[in-house]
Amino acid sequence: MITSKVAKNLNLSNKVNNQASHIFVFLEIFAREGGIQSYVKDVFRSYLGLSQAYKAEVFLLRDRPDCSNPFESQNLKFHYFQNQSPQIGRLKMAAALLKCLLQNRPQRVFCGHINLAVLIQTLCQPLGIPYTVLTYGKEVWEPLKNQERRALSLASEIWTISRYSRDRTCAANGLDPNIIQMIPCAIDGDKFTPGSKQPELVEKYALKDAKVLMTVARLWSGDIYKGVDVTIRALPQITQVFPEVRYLVIGRGDDQPRLAQLAIDLGVSDRVVFAGFVPIEQLIEHYRLADAYIMPSQEGFGIVYLEAMACQVPVLSGDDDGSADPLQDGKLGWRVPHRSPDAVAAACIEILQGDDQRCDGQWLREQAIAFFGMHAFQKRLQEQLLSRVKS
């Protein structure tokens, strides 16, 4: 918690009237699940753990008021604008947001997606209200439209989740790296915990006495960068050393038939288990089935690596993406060329042999939580909020 002395320095005289010092604007948080949504929920969770001096209004373009929202409170007030007509919903949100800006004159507005940046810049700049744009990954890795690039360049700050995302965003859009602040993803160590393999799941997926490799990913044809196909191609080499290996793939999408056919063509279809969609509340028990988490991908960050490590599962990632941060440049896991089945196979064999410190589950969990636990995340968030006040 922030001390009362610091709270006084926030210059939040509008708290007497219970008005907001911050405004958050997002596309959607509760209508779907995903990495961005998980990240934003961590922001809300941490925000509520700060001083009671912090109060915010939250505007959600595509969410409905009947959604399940555990964050509604005196310190976070939510407004919903889901509409059958996207244009009408956007206009209603813009009008409500402008009214809120005029009435509250908040310290800062947090723009939760590049697709909202032009709107936020248009409303905030004439009023002299600073705004921060939150970025995550591939949505800002390529050259943006001129208006979006301008909205980014005029932001008081840009937040991003990894060094890789920062560097790609700046290179693609000519941005000054000095205005980008690092607020990486977080892992809830109280939620993601180690445990024994659940017998019911072992039986369900026919994993008895197996060495289990696992991936959690969308199986969409547009997301082949997740590397599920590369891991399947690595299986013939892995089975030569570990004939009892099984590859558990959690996720669904239109690319699954191609992946299943690939396993058949390579003669490893009996080694690959497509589990389909697994709800988040059941995901922890599935992580505990794994002897290694394998995702040679290209991620903006890769929260799944932290989830696996918190469950004491060794991890493998690609070597040219944001996973360098959760894996601490290879200190906490294996990083390999993401489209190389040979490299994936060699690393998987090393992991399953278990002789490397990165296979020490207890050490791995401790390191992951020390760098990326909720306490560390809340501290970074607080520092960023205070840095704006002091400047």
Q: What is the mean pLDDT of residues 253-267?
A: 97
**CATH classification code of 199-371:** 3.40.50.2000
Number of alpha helices (DSSP H) and beta strands (DSSP E) in the chain: 14, 13
Residue range 295-348, pLDDT digits in tens: 999 999 999 999 999 999 999 999 999 999 999 999 999 999 999 999 999 999
pTM above 0.85, yes or no: yes
Does the pLDDT of residue 38 top 70, yes or no? yes
Mean pLDDT, all residues of the chain: 93
Residue 368 and residue 196: Cα distance in Å, rounded? 20
Q: How confident is the model at residue 182 (pLDDT cuts 50, 70, 90)?
A: very high
Residue 344 and residue 245: Cα distance in Å, rounded? 14
Q: How confident is the model at residue 183 (pLDDT cuts 50, 70, 90)?
A: very high
Question: CB–CB of 10/95 below 8 Å?
Answer: no
Structure tokens at 199: 């017998």
DSSP state of 245: E
Place of tokens 């709107």: 119
Does the pLDDT of residue 387 top 90, yes or no? no
Backbone angles phi, psi at 266, to 5 degrees: -90, 0
Are 4-186+373-390 and 199-371 in the same CATH fold? Answer: yes
Alpha helix (H) ranges present in the chain? 4-8, 35-48, 86-104, 117-124, 146-153, 163-173, 199-204, 228-241, 256-265, 280-287, 303-310, 341-353, 361-372, 374-390
Q: How confident is the model at residue 7 (pLDDT cuts 50, 70, 90)?
A: very low
Q: How far apart are the first and last CA of the chain?
A: 21
What are the extents of the domains in the chain? 4-186+373-390, 199-371
Rg of the chain over all Cα atoms, to the nearest angstrom: 22
User: Any idea which fold 4-186+373-390 has?
Assistant: Rossmann fold (3.40.50)
